[in-house]
Amino acid sequence: MAAEAHTSAGRPVRELVGEVITELAPEELPLLEGLLELDDAAAVRRLSGHGQRREPLGFGVGEIAVLVTPVVWLALDQAARRIGDIALERASRASAGALRRLFRRNPPPVVVPPLTREQLTEVKRQVLETAEQRGLTAPQASEIANAVVAGLVLADPPPPDGGDPGSPAAAGPTPEG
């Protein structure tokens, strides 16, 4: 595995959204808190306007069209799904869905997988496109896209053994090995 193959660690979309909103639009934290009570699929439906029957957040999608939260969440969700192994994810979701129905568990959060430089460029393009569709200005869109990419790039990489970053195995080889 080449050192340049992955430039970021896999990160939950909701975690990245929280970081960007805290940095760029802290006034939207109440909206984000409401969305974090939902699973990722429900949050995306709410932000995109699909499946709107009632408004648990107290306002309609039209009123949130120019906010940062939907731009970041929708763009990251779409990028994560596009970049990830969609066929494997569908098979996994189908079996996970059956188990969830059986045990009534919430689905796991959507995670942005480790990304290459080209994939980071695609994520940035997706954020810019979503921001434009949502009516943000070019400078606002650029600031949001840069913050999203920075959050992905500056993420702590997973330890080489895939274990806990604080574990002795993650600290490196011992003098004996």
Name the stretches of the chain with pLDDT < 50: 1-8, 53-59, 61-65, 86-87, 162-177
Looking at 135-176, which runs of residues are DSSP E strands? none
Helix axes 138-153, 13-24, angle to 10 degrees: 130
3-state secondary structure (DSSP) of residue 126: helix
Q: What pLDDT, on a 0 to 100 scale, did the predictor assign at position 114? A: 84
Question: What pLDDT is attached to residue 161?
Answer: 53
Summarised one tens digit per residue, pLDDT across range 45-79 is: 999 886 554 444 444 544 444 689 999 999 999 88
Nearest alpha carbon to residue 16 among 115, 97, 118, 135: 115
Would the pTM of this model clear 0.85, i.e. be above it?
no
Residue 167 is predicted with a pLDDT of 42
| pLDDT in the model for residue 154 | 84
